[in-house]
């Protein structure tokens, strides 16, 4: 005979996020993109830069120049859009905690203004430091312990009543892995206007992007244009920054000259 199981701390937080996400009329588009020389340069950089970090900086750079990607739909006291004054990326990170593989949500403030090495150092810290030593994660664990009615009140305050704090706590853009072992999702659920899903392991430099967006804020064509601008930024400005990180030896010297000649 079966038995009832209480939701774990991690499942309670995901339950909250999915409940909110299901209120959003989200649409999703996807495409396969060739990262070209970025793929080659990434293999030679020291420290090695994660695809999550590369795409996060490209995404943030596009969002900083695209007003719609900095807007949130607000329901209270009437339906309207709120324009945030900065870019905060909320990245989904999987960590094991108390015997459970669970999701945590890490915030990166204005990643477009930070170096790739600084972003990578922060990303490594969030992936490797004991969970309870990371303030953001510790707050999420404690928040999930609160009674449901208090959590729902807090979500309502952040989502609908206090937009200034919405970016600080929940971000303005989101990034997550879109695939695993050749399987891909078609959209991502979350309380954000847009979420970029990336292929964590591109094959021969070709990876799939999945762009999920709130249709109340953004339409299909602007969403597709944003996704292509992200890829363009990755293969131009981000590629140039990667080239500067490549160690100085004959092979990388050739690659550097090649990058600059086609830029």
Residue 239: pLDDT band (50, 70, 90) is very high
Q: Is 182 exposed, middle or buried (0-12, 13-18, 19+ CB in 10 A)?
A: exposed
pLDDT, position 202: 80
Q: What angle do CA 90, 55, 262 make, to 5 degrees?
A: 160
Mean pLDDT to the nearest integer, 229-257: 76
pLDDT tens figures, 168-208:
888 999 999 876 666 666 778 899 999 999 987 888 788 88
pLDDT, position 61: 98
Give the global pTM: 0.89
Q: Give me the DSSP letters along 72-97.
A: EEE-SSSSEEEE-SS-EEEEEEEEEE
pLDDT tens figures, 164-173:
888 988 899 9
CB 105 within 8 A of CB 69: no
Assess whether pLDDT exceeds 70 at residue 84: yes
Assess whether pLDDT exceeds 60 at residue 259: no
Mean pLDDT to the nearest integer, 122-151: 96
* Neighbour count for residue 137 (Cβ, 10 Å): 21
Query: What's the rounded Cα separation, in Å, for the pair 207 and 52?
Result: 12
pLDDT, position 248: 39
């Amino acid at each position: 005979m079966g038995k009832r199981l209480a939701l774990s701390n991690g499942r309670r937080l995901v339950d909250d996020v999915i409940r909110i996400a299901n209120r959003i009329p989200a649409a999703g588009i996807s495409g396969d993109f060739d990262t070209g020389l970025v793929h080659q340069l990434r293999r030679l950089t020291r420290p090695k830069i994660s695809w999550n970090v590369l795409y996060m900086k490209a995404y943030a750079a596009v969002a900083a120049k695209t007003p719609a990607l900095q807007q949130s739909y607000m329901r209270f006291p009437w339906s309207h859009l709120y324009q945030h004054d900065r870019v905060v990326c909320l990245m989904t990170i999987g960590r094991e905690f108390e015997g459970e593989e669970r999701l945590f949500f890490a915030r990166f403030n204005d990643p477009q203004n930070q170096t790739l090495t600084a972003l990578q150092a922060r990303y490594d810290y969030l992936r490797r430091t004991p969970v309870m030593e990371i303030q953001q994660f510790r707050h999420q664990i404690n928040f999930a312990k609160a009674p449901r009615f208090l959590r729902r009140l807090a979500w309502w305050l952040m989502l609908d009543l206090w937009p200034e704090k919405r970016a600080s706590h929940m971000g303005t853009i989101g990034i997550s892995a879109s695939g695993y072992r050749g399987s891909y999702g078609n959209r991502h659920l979350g309380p954000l206007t847009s979420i970029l899903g990336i292929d964590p392991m591109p094959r021969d430099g070709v990876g799939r992007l999945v762009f999920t967006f709130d249709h109340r804020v953004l339409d299909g064509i602007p969403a597709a244009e944003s996704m292509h601008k992200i890829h363009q930024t990755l293969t131009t400005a981000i590629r140039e920054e990667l080239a500067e990180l490549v160690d100085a030896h004959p092979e990388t010297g050739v690659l550097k000259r090649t990058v600059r000649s086609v830029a």
